[in-house]
Homo-oligomer: A and B are copies of this chain.
């Protein structure tokens, strides 16, 4: 029986209804999300035992945030209460040529001010098999890189697999710091996950013939990137999501998995987006699920890409699919006939 521990932040996610700009809104849809929490929610719906680890202030809003994870079956037994605030994150959803705009208000949060020792990894990792975090977590505060190191090392002591989605966020730290910290954490990682931009930005390995901001990707180049990274850090597996952004409404999306010197590519999806946020987090969930289930690498990356595709056809950040729904997409190819 597997149990996945996720470590990261949980934020109040505020967004105007539909395609309103922030400026137009008198109401916000509210959700409580975060990259790692998103991944755990998907895993929990796949049937995997999960625990989300973070630090949050002791107030009524934290209750809302934790209840939102409980609702989707994510364990919160190890959440620590303390500190000043829960982060807030305002997102206005783009459309067509208009990009989504995001305002972060996540400085000084309870997680950002966590100190080494606040989290008891030995107890947290009892009975656990996987530890998952993203590059957002070490970016949040000065002690977080050390805490992530500590967690990874404890995880390995418990014989757990460590997965990390690079998830570079330029609003949270500058590139130099990010590269240094992620370079130090990379050796602790077994399964590396990234999007089309991350490997170059964070680990300095640039795919050829690729201009991400204009939506031009050379998929073959990413195989080379994975091979180089595996050589450098001895990853057990490297997986990338590859997004070609045609517009804020339409994206081309696929995933690839590099394992044991071989590359496995998922089908490519032309997605008419409902909400693209959380697509990468659902991919991580699908990937971990495939590995936990013992799927072969091809089915694993297919499952991950399909789970991630489905996420992007849903409102909000969570990938709320059951395994049989993901399999149905793999089987039917996304023609979208009503399931009566």
Question: Which residues of A169-189 are within 8 A (CB) of B?
Answer: 169-171
Given known A-B contacts A95-B313, A272-B96, A88 and B105 have beta carbons under 8 A apart:
yes
Given known A-B contacts A96-B313, A215-B335, A272-B250, A60 and B90 have beta carbons under 8 A apart:
yes
CB-defined interface of A295-328 with B at 8 Å, one 1/0 digit per residue? 0000000000010011011111000100001001
Question: Which residues of A34-71 are within 8 A (CB) of B?
Answer: 59-61, 63-64, 67-68, 70-71
Say whether A157 faces chain B, with CB atoms less than 8 Å apart.
no
Question: Which residues of A92-106 are within 8 A (CB) of B?
Answer: 92, 94-105
Say whether A247 faces chain B, with CB atoms less than 8 Å apart.
yes
Binding-face segment, A17-25, A144-152, A257-265: A17-25
Number of copies: 6
Q: Which residues of B contact A276 (CB under 8 A)?
A: 338
Are A338 and B97 interface neighbours, CB within 8 A? no
| Chain B: CB-nearest residue to A30 | B28
Say whether A116 faces chain B, with CB atoms less than 8 Å apart.
no
> Residue A27 contacts which of B27, B84, B100, B247 (CB distance < 8 angstroms)?
B27
Are A309 and B60 interface neighbours, CB within 8 A? no
Query: In whole Å, how far is A334's beta carbon from the nearest beta carbon of chain B?
Result: 3
Q: Which residues of A contact B (CB under 8 A)?
A: 12, 14, 18-31, 59-61, 63-64, 67-68, 70-73, 84-86, 88, 90, 92, 94-105, 107-108, 169-171, 213-215, 245-250, 269, 271-274, 276-277, 306, 309-310, 312-316, 320, 325, 328-329, 332-340
Q: What are 20 residue pairs bridging A and B, where the CB atoms are less than 8 Å apart in the complex?
A: A14-B28, A26-B26, A61-B90, A61-B103, A67-B71, A68-B71, A86-B105, A94-B313, A95-B313, A96-B309, A96-B312, A97-B329, A98-B313, A98-B325, A99-B328, A100-B338, A101-B338, A104-B340, A107-B108, A250-B272
| Additional 17 contacts, C-beta under 8 A, given A14-B30, A95-B314 | A12-B88, A20-B314, A22-B63, A23-B63, A23-B72, A26-B29, A67-B73, A70-B70, A95-B313, A96-B271, A97-B310, A97-B329, A99-B337, A101-B338, A102-B339, A102-B340, A250-B272
